[in-house]
Structure 1
Amino acid sequence: MRSIKLTIRNDPADLSVLRETLDRFGAEQGIPGKALFALQVVLDEIVSNVIKYAWPEGGAHEVLVRLAADDTAVRIEVVDDGRPYDPREAPAPAQAAPGSRPRPGGVGIHMVKQLVDGFEYERVDEYNCVRLTKRCIVGARSQTEGPNDKRRA
């Protein structure tokens, strides 16, 4: 299994470093384009929520992100020392009555659940640990891509 670890600050500006790291990891590992796009959305949503909500008292904190890939899947782990929160328990987004606005929130985690094949949470000591799995064939190009094609299926 190939893996990398990245620690970012609880600062929205650090999301760009995380995005670049995932893009580079995806290219190096040959993660298919559709799977990489899903992982970009998922990682951005989970880490954005951690940055926004894990520390209501504020202050400087760190978020640890591990990316790992083998031949059949990509795994992401996000670890923070924020208040305990299991994102799997987020309520489904409310459907708005015709002519009214839906309540804000809840759509992102619902989308994460739809985009990944595995979604786990546990509280270990004083840390939230979210583990996500996206099954895909890693390192293989689609049959329609040529050797110089940068896109992934």
Structure 2
Amino acid sequence: MRSTKLTIRNDPADLSVPRELDRFGVEQGIPGKALFALQVVLDEIVSNVIKYAWPEGGAHEVLVRLAADDTAVRIEVVDDGRPYDPREAPAPAQAAPGSRPRPGGVGIHMVKQLVDGFEYERVDEYNCVRLTKRCIVGARSQTEGPNDKRRA
């Protein structure tokens, strides 16, 4: 299994996840469609951690581990924020006919739709979210990026 990790400060300006995931995806040959889905998922999870995990503020870090084997990409996001299992997020509320939908609430629902595995565990003082996206790794050319229009 090939892997890498990165550490992100709890500052939205430090959100370097898409660039790092793209680099990892190209190096490992992750198919463009799967890589795009993982970028959306990881951005949503890490953004939520940065916004909500530390209501008291202060400097904190989010650890992201990326791993790929021949059949899947696995992502682990670890933070020391308040305990929160994102799988328990309520489904997005339906707007009444003629009214505008309430903003927010769709991100975790979207994550659930884009991944094949979504696990949560509280380990000591840490939230650990584990995501799995099944795909044939190594199947794309090394020059194809996630925004390449040639991909299927």
Same fold (TM over 0.5): yes
Deviation at 1:145, TM superposition (A): 9.2
Divergent runs of 4+, >2 A: 16-20, 141-153
1:147 is displaced (CA, Å) by 16
How much has 1:99 moved relative to structure 2?
1.1
Comparing 51-60 with 5-14, greater Cα deviation is found at 5-14
76-85 or 8-17: bigger deviation? 8-17
Q: Which runs of 5+ in 1 are unaligned?
A: none
Cα distance change of structure 1 residues 151 and 75 upon mapping to structure 2, 3 Å threshold: farther
Counterpart mapping for 1:44-55 below 5 A:
44-55=43-54
Percent identity between matched residues is 98
RMSD over aligned Cα atoms: 3.2
Tell me the TM-score normalised to structure 2 length.
Answer: 0.91
After TM superposition, give the deviation of residue 142 of structure 1 in Å: 8.4
Conservation of the 8 A alpha-carbon contact between 1:142 and 1:152 = no
Checking the alignment, whether the CA contact within 8 Å between 1:73 and 1:133 is kept in structure 2 is yes
> 1:14 maps to what in 2?
14
Structure-1 separation of matches of 2:56 and 2:147: 50
CA gap 1:2/1:143 in 2 versus in 1, 3 angstroms:
closer
| Cα drift, residue 19 of structure 1 | 3.2
The count of corresponding residues between Structure 1 and Structure 2 is: 152
Q: Partners of 1:149 and 1:91 in 2: how far apart?
A: 34
- Rate the CA distance shift 1:144–1:29 in 2: closer, same or farther, 3 A: closer
**Residues 148 and 14 of structure 1, relative CA distance in 2, 3 Å threshold:** closer
Task: Name whichever of 1-10 and 100-109 sits farther off.
Answer: 100-109
Q: Give CA deviations for 1:26-79 in whole Å, capped at 9, x if unaligned.
A: 000000010000000000000000000000000000000000000000000000
